[in-house]
Amino acid sequence: MLLIECPWCGRCEQSEFHYGGEAHLTRATSASDNTELTEFLFLRNNVRGDTAERWFHATGCRRWFNAVRNTVDDRFICTYKPGDTATQGTTDA
Ligand SMILES: [Zn+2]
């Protein structure tokens, strides 16, 4: 069973969380052209290794947070609150 460290609730089972996609995206604005809007809506990095993601604690505190996860071994490196940086987060044991 995979455990994920919620920055507010602590360690909980993976089934309590929902994946929310890539973290730290730059949103398209009303001034964006079609290329920028297309990239924002449809193009995502497909990283092999450590990547920043958004996660939602659906059956817990119902808050969003960020996590750095290694996509090769599915190991969470750290989790951190929105607005914080990855180095301020909690590390997985
Ligand atoms: Zn939580």
In the prediction, which pLDDT does 87 show? 77
Q: How far is the CA of 61 from the centre of ligand 1 (A)?
A: 4
Distance CA 73, CA 40 (A): 27
- Read off the pLDDT of residues 31-76 as tens digits, 9 standing for 90 and up: 889 999 999 999 998 999 999 999 999 999 999 999 999 999 999 9
Q: How far is the CA of 32 from the centre of ligand 1 (A)?
A: 35
* Tokens representing residue 27 in the block: 């949103």
Q: How far is the CA of 72 from the centre of ligand 1 (A)?
A: 25
Q: How far is the CA of 46 from the centre of ligand 1 (A)?
A: 26
* HEC per residue, 17-62: EEEEEECCCCCCCCCCCHHHHHHHHHCCCCCCCEEEEEEEECCCCC
Of the pLDDT bands very low, low, confident and very high (cuts 50, 70, 90), residue 30 is confident
- Partnered with residue 51 across adjacent β-strands are 69
The CATH number for 87's domain is 3.30.2270.10
Domain count of the fold of the chain:
1
* Pick from 16-20, 26-30, 53-57, 71-75: least confident: 26-30
Q: How far is the CA of 10 from the centre of ligand 1 (A)?
A: 7
Q: How far is the CA of 62 from the centre of ligand 1 (A)?
A: 6
Q: How far is the CA of 73 from the centre of ligand 1 (A)?
A: 23
Distance CA 54, CA 82 (A): 9
Enclosing domain of residue 8: 3-91
Burial of residue 66 (CB within 10 Å: 0-12, 13-18, 19+) is buried
- Are the C-beta atoms of residues 9 and 60 closer than 8 Å to each other? yes
